[in-house]
């Protein structure tokens, strides 16, 4: 029974399981990038056929990253990580606290960078020389005399082995942050017409709106453009109102959200509520010269005294590189409606020569609503702390090199025996450094 | 406005040519073992790197002159150019450090192909366009630089892994290595370079994913939304994490690690190109 339990424990603690899980996670994650997510069952039937759609439904591939089996894999992965780290950390901590400072025979055998020099002369002289040399090169060192032998020990970057554990811990912390967000956070949206205010937002998948404990007013929404007509900025000027008082005025643009009382508002969309265009229409027929001053919107307006109707369909800030243009739809009595642009900067350009009127652009104005995304995520700070820890952990495990140097000195057979050993598993440069130490010591004379 | 009208466009075209030249020199060097060819390869790579640096800086300056100043890292063309720049730069460091030019024949093809794809593919626009609002963020710069640094390191790791597999096959079968392969670094050294490159790439990719998450959180209010590009970067990250752990597991070192490195780089290419060209999402450069 207890043997079985150990087997399970060892399996859960094994790196082999970690490698397998990482590969399984990598492969399974592909599905969700190929199969469109969050579509209806009918859509999957359309895309892939009846049977495949059933498979998709059974394995929750329509929302794969939140499916039971993917969550299970992540949970198993986390368990693997925790069990493995908990099992290995205590011995590592113990080694950091009590490193093997004495270069005895068994240690010497386990190391590859070892060499022994035999020097003539007084052992005390050599002890001193080696100690001073190492001190000068590496700073402090540990010294111990045992029997008739003297041992030195130097360790640099001894905490580098903790990097892995910091990294592993950070993954658990990031997961915790994600879970906090999933439980206590939400994502919503709200649309506010210019000049109006709201005290609630809508949460996706819920019919009840979420009530804010303040009022959010959209004072203005504006678009600005690059010279060539592409949108440069979407901007909402907003006020936050509490107890009838404006407590905060700010603006939102994409990449500059607004956070208030744990809620963050993001500029995410906009729409046109109203278009008001002032135009002048001249009749083209020479025996019926008339001028009409028109105020148009996106609903048909009758041209007075005629059977003709006209409305605004769209507006471009920079059409065909000649500046603003209104797109009109003109429905003359007995003819099919026709769409054509009216340019602000080309007043004589007639884009509908067959039509009965020439239009001139006077003024145009739109009112908008702004579309804001709203989120609350109390876990996000936990995630960032996890991310910072992860970078610290990765830095420590990859860029802080642990290196150790041992020396053993004793007098034997008329000679002073100096054995030097070194170990730095991560650093190729250390081999050269060690060779240099040996060479320096070889060259020393009593 | 075609960028070929600009000096930067010219410089970057020259770069493409020079990198191809470097690739051929390295390949001839591998075949002929003529040291002059190797030296020419290094010189061409170095020259290409400097011309490209000039091209990138000028492109930035030119965007300011057009009144839309933004870093040259924002569309597919520029990211390919930047990938080539990082890979050439990191490769030069590795060549200097390991004193071996053979890797050039395996790494420079990635660099030249990236430049060629950027320059000649009809899917890749070279225009200097203004930034849409979503891209106007300093996070963009940090995100792109860290990701591409990582991609470059992974490209080198993949090149070295291919060399490893070729040499290992021969050694395993006890066949004579032949004139060319015997000049490859030894298999332990190749394995070591592979690991070192990934040890640089992995933290960089991690930082790239984190800066991307920070930016997404800032722009859209969600640090992770499983969009295809995000997911593929995570897949890539899993593969390299598997690589790092495979080293601690007997039976997973050497050959399997080399394969993981190559598979990891395929995941990089899918993350980088495949997602933009074939899958939709927040990241598609197209639109
Ligand atoms: C994606 C998740 C993971 C990441 C990012 C990660 C990260 C790392 C890193 C960076 C290293 C150092 C590698 C090196 O020095 O070459 C490492 C080592 C290690 N990891 Fe992980 N790890 C992950 C998951 C796991 C899991 C699930 C286990 C569970 C068994 C695990 C067990 C280990 C062990 C035992 C080591 C070696 C420690 C040593 O040097 O003795 N890791 N990990």
> Predicted confidence band at B284 (pLDDT cuts at 50, 70, 90)?
very low
Paired with A271 in beta bridges are A369
For the cut 50, the answer to whether the pLDDT of residue B4 exceeds it is: no
Region of A146 (left: φ > 0; alpha: ψ -120 to 50; beta: rest) is beta
Pair B221, A384: CB distance under 8 Å: no
For the cut 70, the answer to whether the pLDDT of residue B206 exceeds it is: yes
Smallest CA-to-CA distance from A78 within A3, A10, A22 is with: A22
Mean pLDDT of A290-302: 90
Q: For a ligand 1 pocket test, name from B150, B208, B244, B247 the mutation site with the most ligand atoms within 8 angstroms of its C-beta.
A: B244
For the cut 50, the answer to whether the pLDDT of residue A133 exceeds it is: yes
Contacts with A277 (C-beta within 8 Å, 6 or more apart), sequence order: A295, A296, A297, A312, A315, A326, A361, A363, A364, A365
pLDDT at A300: 92
Mean pLDDT of A222-251: 87
pLDDT at B123: 65
For the cut 90, the answer to whether the pLDDT of residue B24 exceeds it is: yes
CA A198 to CA A104: how far, in whole Å?
A: 77
Closest to A19 (Cβ–Cβ): which among B133, B207, B242? B242
Q: Which atom of ligand 1 is nearest to the CA of A92?
A: 41
Distance from CA of B194 to the nearest CA of A (A): 13
Q: List the single best residue of A19, A167, A178 to mutate versus B (max B Cβ within 10 A).
A: A19
In terms of pLDDT, which residue wins out, A396 or B31? A396
For the cut 50, the answer to whether the pLDDT of residue A263 exceeds it is: yes
For A409-419, the pLDDT digits (tens) are 988 878 888 99
pTM assigned to the model? 0.83
Per-residue H/E/C for A165-204 = HHHHHHHHHHHHHHHHHHHHCEEEEEEEECCCEEEEEEEC
pLDDT at A311: 93
pLDDT at B218: 84
HSE-CB for B152 with a 13 A CA cutoff: 26
CA A408 to CA A102: how far, in whole Å?
A: 8
Stretch among A192-201, A229-238, B36-45, B204-213 having the lowest mean pLDDT: A229-238
> CB burial class (10 A; 0-12, 13-18, 19+) of residue A2?
exposed
> Predicted confidence band at A19 (pLDDT cuts at 50, 70, 90)?
very high
Residues of B in contact with A231 (CB under 8 A): 132-133
Mean pLDDT of A391-413: 91
For A31-57, the pLDDT digits (tens) are 988 888 888 888 999 889 889 999 898
Residues of A in contact with B213 (CB under 8 A): 383, 387
Helix boundaries (H) for A35-162: 41-48, 50-58, 68-97, 105-110, 123-138
Closest residue in A to B267 (Cα–Cα): A26
For the cut 60, the answer to whether the pLDDT of residue A293 exceeds it is: yes
For B149-179, the pLDDT digits (tens) are 899 899 999 999 999 999 988 888 877 777 7
Q: What share of chain B in percent tops pLDDT 70?
A: 90
> Predicted confidence band at B192 (pLDDT cuts at 50, 70, 90)?
confident
Tell me, using a 6 A CB cutoff, whether residue A82 lines ligand 1.
no
Closest to A230 (Cβ–Cβ): which among B130, B139, B226? B130
For the cut 60, the answer to whether the pLDDT of residue B283 exceeds it is: no
Among protein residues, the one with the nearest Cα to ligand 1's atom 16 is B244
pLDDT at B251: 66
Residues of B in contact with A25 (CB under 8 A): 238
For the cut 60, the answer to whether the pLDDT of residue A64 exceeds it is: yes
Pair A385, A196: CB distance under 8 Å: no
Tell me, using a 6 A CB cutoff, whether residue B226 lines ligand 1.
no
Residue B163, number of CB atoms within 10 A of its CB? 23
Q: Which atom of ligand 1 is nearest to the CA of B195?
A: 16
Whether residue B220 and residue A373 make contact (CB cut-off 8 A), yes or no, is yes
For residue A164, report the distance from its CA to the centre of ligand 1, in Å: 6
Tell me, using a 6 A CB cutoff, whether residue A162 lines ligand 1.
no
Pair B79, B117: CB distance under 8 Å: no
At A60, list the tokens: 């929750």
Crossing angle of helices B104-120 and B35-65, rounded to 10° = 30
Distance from CA of A14 to the nearest CA of B (A): 9
Stretch among A9-13, A120-124, A359-363 having the lowest mean pLDDT: A120-124
At B199, list the tokens: 């040890």
> CB burial class (10 A; 0-12, 13-18, 19+) of residue A409?
buried
Q: What is the mean pLDDT of chain B?
A: 84
For B82-141, the pLDDT digits (tens) are 889 999 999 999 888 888 888 888 899 999 998 988 887 766 677 777 777 777 777 888
How would you label A32-61 residue by residue, b for 16+ Cβ within 10 Å and e otherwise?
bbebebeeeeeebbeeeeeeebeebeeeeb
| B226 at interface of A, judged by CB pairs closer than 8 A | yes
CA A384 to CA A177: how far, in whole Å?
A: 8
In terms of pLDDT, which residue wins out, A34 or A80? A80
Smallest CA-to-CA distance from B233 within B196, B256, B264 is with: B264
For B49-90, the pLDDT digits (tens) are 999 999 889 888 888 887 777 777 777 788 889 889 999 999
For residue B246, report the distance from its CA to the centre of ligand 1, in Å: 9
Among protein residues, the one with the nearest Cα to ligand 1's atom 12 is A164
pLDDT at A34: 87
In terms of pLDDT, which residue wins out, A89 or B32? A89
* Torsion angle, alpha carbons of B135, B138, B144, B149, to 10: 170
Return the number of CB contacts < 8 Å for A and B. Answer: 111
Which residues in chain B (185-204) have CB-CB distances under 8 A to chain A?
Answer: 192, 199-200, 202-203
pLDDT at A327: 93
pLDDT at B219: 82
| B93 at interface of A, judged by CB pairs closer than 8 A | no
For the cut 50, the answer to whether the pLDDT of residue A438 exceeds it is: yes
For the cut 50, the answer to whether the pLDDT of residue A370 exceeds it is: yes
């Amino acid at each position: 029974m207890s043997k079985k339990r150990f087997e399970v424990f060892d399996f859960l603690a094994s790196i082999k399981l970690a490698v397998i899980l990482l590969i399984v996670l990598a492969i399974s994650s592909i599905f969700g990038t190929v199969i469109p997510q969050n579509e209806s069952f009918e859509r999957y039937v359309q895309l892939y056929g009846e049977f495949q759609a059933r498979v998709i439904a059974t394995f929750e591939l329509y929302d794969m990253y939140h499916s039971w089996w993917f969550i299970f894999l992540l949970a198993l992965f986390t368990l693997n990580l925790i069990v493995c780290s908990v099992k290995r950390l205590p011995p590592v901590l113990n080694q950091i606290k009590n490193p093997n400072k004495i270069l005895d025979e068994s240690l010497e055998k386990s190391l590859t960078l070892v060499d022994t020099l035999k020097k003539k002369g007084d052992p005390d002289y050599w002890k001193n020389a080696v100690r001073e040399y190492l001190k000068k090169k590496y700073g402090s060192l540990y010294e111990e005399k045992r029997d008739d032998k003297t041992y030195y020990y130097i360790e640099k970057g001894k905490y580098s082995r903790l990097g892995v554990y910091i990294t592993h811990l950070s993954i658990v912390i990031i997961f915790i942050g994600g879970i906090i967000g999933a439980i206590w956070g939400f994502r919503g949206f709200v649309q506010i017409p210019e000049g109006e205010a709201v005290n609630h937002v809508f949460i996706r998948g819920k019919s009840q709106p979420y009530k804010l404990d303040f009022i959010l007013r959209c004072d203005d929404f504006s678009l600005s453009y690059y010279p060539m007509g592409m949108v440069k900025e979407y901007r909402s000027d907003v006020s936050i109102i509490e107890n009838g008082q404006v407590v905060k005025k700010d603006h939102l643009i994409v990449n500059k959200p607004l956070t208030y009382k744990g809620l963050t508002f993001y500029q995410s969309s906009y729409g046109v509520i109203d278009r008001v265009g002032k135009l002048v229409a001249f009749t083209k027929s020479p025996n019926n010269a008339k001028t009409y001053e028109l105020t148009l919107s996106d609903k048909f307006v009758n041209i007075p005294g005629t059977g003709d109707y006209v409305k605004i369909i769209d507006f471009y800030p920079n059409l065909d590189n000649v500046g603003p243009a209104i797109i009109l739809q003109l429905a003359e009595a007995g003819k099919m409606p026709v769409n054509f642009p009216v340019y602000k900067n080309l007043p004589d350009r007639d884009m509908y020569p067959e039509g009965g009127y020439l239009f001139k652009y006077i003024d145009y104005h739109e009112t908008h609503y702004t579309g804001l995304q709203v989120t609350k995520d109390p876990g996000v700070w936990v995630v960032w702390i996890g991310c910072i820890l992860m970078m610290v952990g990765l830095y420590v495990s990859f860029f802080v090199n642990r290196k150790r140097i041992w020396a053993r000195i004793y007098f034997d057979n008329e000679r002073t025996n100096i054995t030097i050993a070194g170990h730095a598993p991560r650093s190729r440069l250390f081999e050269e450094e060690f060779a240099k130490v040996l060479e320096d010591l070889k060259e020393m004379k009593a | 406005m075609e960028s070929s009208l600009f000096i930067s466009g010219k410089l970057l075209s020259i770069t493409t040519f020079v990198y191809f030249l470097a690739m051929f020199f390295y390949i001839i060097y591998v075949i002929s073992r003529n040291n002059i060819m190797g030296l020419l390869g290094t010189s061409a790579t170095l020259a290409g790197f400097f011309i490209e640096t000039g091209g990138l800086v000028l492109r930035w300056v030119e965007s300011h002159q057009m009144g839309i100043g933004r870093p040259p890292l924002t569309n597919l063309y520029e990211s390919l150019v930047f990938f080539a720049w990082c890979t050439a730069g990191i490769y030069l460091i590795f060549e200097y450090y390991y004193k071996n030019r053979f890797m050039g024949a395996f790494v420079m093809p990635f660099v030249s192909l990236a430049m060629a794809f950027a320059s000649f593919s009809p899917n890749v626009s070279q225009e200097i366009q203004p930034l849409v609002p979503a891209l106007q963020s300093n996070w963009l710069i940090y995100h792109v630089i860290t990701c591409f640094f990582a991609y470059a390191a992974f490209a080198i790791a993949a090149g070295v892994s291919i060399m490893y597999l070729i040499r290992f096959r021969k050694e395993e079968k006890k066949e004579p290595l032949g004139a060319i392969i015997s000049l490859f670094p030894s298999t332990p050294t190749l394995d070591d370079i592979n690991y070192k490159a990934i040890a640089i790439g992995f933290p960089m990719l991690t930082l790239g994913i984190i800066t991307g998450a920070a930016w997404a959180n800032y722009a859209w209010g969600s640090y992770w939304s499983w969009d295809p590009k995000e997911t593929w970067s995570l897949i890539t990250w899993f593969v390299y994490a598997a690589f790092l752990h495979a080293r601690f597991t007997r039976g997973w070192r050497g050959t399997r690690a080399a394969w993981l490195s190559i598979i990891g780089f395929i995941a990089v290419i899918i993350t980088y190109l495949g997602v933009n060209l074939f899958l939709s999402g927040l990241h598609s450069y197209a639109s």
